[in-house]
Structure 1
Amino acid sequence: MHYLKTAVIFPFFLSALATPVPVGDTLATRDSSTFISRLENTLKGLGSLTKGVLQEVDLLIGGLQDVVEGKTDPVTTIEEAVGSLSDVRNASEAGLVGVAIDLVTKGLAPKNIVDLVSGLNEESINSFNNTNPIDPQTSIFPKSSSDAPYTQSEEDLRAAVYIPEKFKYGADGKQPILLVPGTGDPAGVSYYFNFEKLIPETDFADAIWVNIPNNSLADIQFSSEFIAYAINYVAGITNTTIGVVAASQGNIGVQWALKYWPSARDSVSDFLAISADFHGSLLAEECLIPNTGCTPAVMQQEYDSNFIKTLRSDDGDSALVPTTSVYSGPDEVVTPQTDPDASGALKNAHGVGATNVQIQLACPGLPAGGFYPHAGLLVNPITWALFVDAMKHDGPADLSRIDLDPICNRILTEGLVLTDLLGTETAVVLDSVVHALEYNYQGPAEEPAIRDYARSSSQ
């Protein structure tokens, strides 16, 4: 029987920058029953699940109703939020739905959480069907004969790229930054409360992102095609190299794209990997939910999956472009994530530069180096400082260039507030729950076969 690997699924569901891309005034007044009704309708269609899982989804619905009706007191300070987060069960204990229940019942969901998630889901920032009429200066489909073949049409690959209205196309000295999401969410939701809010306030960076169809729940080899194309497309329409930022599973999608579409490497100046699982995760238990959730992308992220073995072969475990990887030792879903064996760490066999930073070692005993779960690194001040340093210098980030004193004594990146922490931790997880349940994977209980172009690497 097919089950959800709960210990693996949570990290990869988590997956832009200054004031968030506006989602409209309708958020404040949207019918709060929309998201709950969506969960209820999904629940009705999941009769194949175990009784325990169905009960958990029902508990989550009840918890959301209590939040909406004001029966659950939300946290009111960042310190309170951090304390409550430390009490949330990890994915290996509770599964994705259980984690969502804890977030909601422990006050980590603001009263308007349902409106917020509903509103974000309906916004164009999450679209997979965007109109991008500008052609790159040279053909990129394919860009090089050494690239792996695309199985998707160029029209579909280009439609996944979301270009904000204020995007400068490389003007004003602003470098384009491509944001790549993790499993279960489009990039518009993943980065809304962090990088999408922070980047527009800089004078050196400009955000753009790729929303991967199926919310990155399908075969990562499929998702990587969209990443590879997006890298070359954004570089092609801006006539400059770009920075790439990825969260969780998005990192192995980027690394796969750079390995098998080598032309994309010339388009990337820097790659910031956040909570990456370049070696999968040891927390890969048997699937606990039959017939749903244990999607191809989840199976491929097991520590010794064929996908991970193939990715890491032939020096794929080394940076392919200047790469800065940041991770947290207490990561509840990617393990091991402590040096020197961190799954997020890359080697430097290709000599392009690799910087690996475990936040607890960068700021020992200080707020920024404290208890940060998987998604929390998106709002961590060390993560942002590494991004700024990498984008402003040749090669990867270098901690020795960064004044760590003020950074280590912050809990959140300057410019972010409590709402951004709660949105990153709770809204994104709730969105992932719905996408995972709605995907309702019914395929074979085995990971997808390695595609022909990569098979020589796995032998």
Structure 2
Amino acid sequence: MRYFRSAALFPLFLSALATSAPASNAVVAARDTSNFISRLENTLEGLGSITKGVLQEVDLLIGALRDVAEGKIDPVKTTEEALGSLSNVRNASEAGLVGVAIDLVTKGLAPKNIVDLLTGINEESINSMNNSNPIDPQTSIYPKDSTDAPYDQTEEDLRAAIYIPESFKYGADGKRPILLVPGTGDPAGVSYYFNFEKLIPETDFADAVWLNIPQNSLTDIQFTTQYIAYAMNYIAGICNTTIGVIATSQGNVGVQWALKYWPSTRDSVEDYLALSADFHGTLFAPECLLPNAGCTPAVMQQQYESEFIKTLRSDGGDSAYVPTTSVYSGPDEVVTPQTDPNASAMLNDAHGVGVSNTQVQLACPGMPAGGFYPHAGLLVNPITWALFVDAMTHEGPGNLSRIDMDSVCDRLVTKGLVLTDVLGTNIAIILNSVVHILEYGYHGSSEEPAIRDYARQS
């Protein structure tokens, strides 16, 4: 398995975007104006005959982003336009992840300052995977209980992935600590930058920290899950209170795996908000989300009924372990099926802890909030936020019956968010994922990672 450091590649990507290309052969021009393409070729050495095809797609993406920066593609001007353009973006199984990114850019969903925007976000410490968290919990959590699965990462490494903002109050002001967990290909700092990281500080009931997982959650999810399990117990331990968890996309199967195989985490988590979850995997892209490349371990493990998914759902894993609010969108371009009654995001309640499953189109039929929301779009959907607020301020999961649905359904995005947040949420997540997946390199195997002994013996 090959690993590549995103910190080295991403500036090259941005450099290529910022440089105007001569009007000649696109791939050659990109090489002349930046070493990004040649560096990317080295990164993709293991992909063999498909390397050129991938390079051509990446070059098209670079060209489209240059066109935006030079004013040749006009960005959408309203939220209504943005959601309309999103409905015309191809799904990942049809276009691949790079193709989805190209669609987002060419359809006006990238702001003109996209290069500066991405540069700024990625240079911020909020994406750090090497954080200093010197406070120790009152009792040991490595492991917390003898029934927990074993860790094979050091406690120092597990703790370093947790980003705690300077403003965090450790529960002292009565606000519930909230752990933000990212999806495939991104640190949480990027995933939640334009949505929950902006909204939560304005509340009087929640206080957020987040996880920036090494390898951007692209390697074996069983590796990734250790960081999630440890973070749950660590934040609860240093705050001496139960916490809330928000996860998007792949982050949800990681959270569910952690709750299943590290039982001690269930006492640490009081509420869990699952967004665009694939608890049953996805039917899209039976080989890879990125055709013939980027077939990382985590991507293989999220195939519909992979061995990982089968193991997760066995022995009660298809039911919630803590009060869980699952929110999803029917036209999800990454996870399918995502429509009731067979939505991949649906959880049962065999453990009797309380579950609500909400497809936004059914919650607000024919209304703005029930319109077209893609995979990442749920992060800005007003129903998502309303259910989060309800879950945090009541016992059990979020409940639509307690919400003023007329007001919520009449909005396109959560109050407090603007067009830039809608565009940023969608484009930043996708573009970062493209770079991180391509640089990660080919897994070199058609087989998903083996199920670890602790899960096979349960």
Q: Is the 2:252–2:274 Cα contact (8 Å) retained in structure 1? A: yes
In the TM superposition, 1:235-314 aligns within 5 A as 235-287=236-288, 292-314=293-315
Q: Is the 1:32–1:68 Cα contact (8 Å) retained in structure 2? A: no
Corresponding residue number in structure 2 for 1:176? 177
Q: How far apart are residue 375 of structure 1 and its match?
A: 0.5
Distance 2:289 2:223 in 1: 25
Distance 2:123 2:35 in 1: 13
Distance 2:271 2:419 in 1: 29
Structure 1: gaps (5+ residues):
3-30
Corresponding residue number in structure 1 for 2:15? 33
Distance 1:238 1:288 in 2: 39
Q: How far apart are residue 34 of structure 1 and its match?
A: 6.4
Q: Is the 2:225–2:254 Cα contact (8 Å) retained in structure 1? A: yes
- Per-residue Cα deviation, 1:314-365 (whole angstroms, up to 9, x for no partner): 0100000000000011111111111111100000000000100011111011
AA aligned opposite 2:15: S
What SS does the corresponding residue of 2:457 show, helix, strand or coil? helix
Corresponding residue pairs, total: 428
AA aligned opposite 1:430: L
Q: Is the 2:61–2:102 Cα contact (8 Å) retained in structure 1? A: yes
Q: How far apart are residue 33 of structure 1 and its match?
A: 2.8
Structure 2: gaps (5+ residues):
2-12, 19-33
Distance 1:270 1:59 in 2: 43
Distance 1:42 1:92 in 2: 27
In the TM superposition, 1:354-369 aligns within 5 A as 354-369=355-370
Corresponding residue number in structure 2 for 1:412? 413
Distance 1:307 1:198 in 2: 34
Q: Is the 2:76–2:82 Cα contact (8 Å) retained in structure 1? A: yes
Q: How far apart are residue 123 of structure 1 and its match?
A: 1.3
Corresponding residue number in structure 2 for 1:82? 83
What SS does the corresponding residue of 1:197 show, helix, strand or coil? helix
Distance 1:180 1:289 in 2: 23
What SS does the corresponding residue of 2:173 show, helix, strand or coil? helix
Distance 2:39 2:269 in 1: 40
AA aligned opposite 2:163: Y
Q: Is the 1:291–1:442 Cα contact (8 Å) retained in structure 2? A: no
Distance 2:328 2:14 in 1: 35
Corresponding residue number in structure 1 for 2:205? 204
AA aligned opposite 2:373: Y
What SS does the corresponding residue of 1:56 show, helix, strand or coil? helix
Corresponding residue number in structure 1 for 2:150? 149
AA aligned opposite 1:402: I
Corresponding residue number in structure 1 for 2:116? 115
Q: Is the 1:100–1:430 Cα contact (8 Å) retained in structure 2? A: yes
AA aligned opposite 1:452: D
Distance 1:38 1:211 in 2: 28
Distance 2:69 2:148 in 1: 50
AA aligned opposite 1:93: E
Q: CA RMSD in A?
A: 1.7
What SS does the corresponding residue of 1:309 show, helix, strand or coil? helix
Q: Is the 1:50–1:289 Cα contact (8 Å) retained in structure 2? A: no
Cα distance change, pair 329–360 in 1 and its aligned pair in 2 (3 A): same
What SS does the corresponding residue of 2:72 show, helix, strand or coil? coil
What SS does the corresponding residue of 1:432 show, helix, strand or coil? helix
AA aligned opposite 1:384: W
What SS does the corresponding residue of 1:209 show, helix, strand or coil? strand
Distance 1:288 1:147 in 2: 32
- Per-residue Cα deviation, 1:276-319 (whole angstroms, up to 9, x for no partner): 00000111333486774100000000111000000000010000
Corresponding residue number in structure 2 for 1:14? none
List structure 1 runs of 4+ shifted beyond 2 angstroms. 31-53, 284-292
Q: Is the 2:92–2:285 Cα contact (8 Å) retained in structure 1? A: no
Q: Is the 2:253–2:277 Cα contact (8 Å) retained in structure 1? A: yes
What SS does the corresponding residue of 2:208 show, helix, strand or coil? strand
What SS does the corresponding residue of 1:280 show, helix, strand or coil? coil
Cα distance change, pair 445–350 in 1 and its aligned pair in 2 (3 A): same
Cα distance change, pair 105–207 in 1 and its aligned pair in 2 (3 A): same
Distance 2:129 2:270 in 1: 26
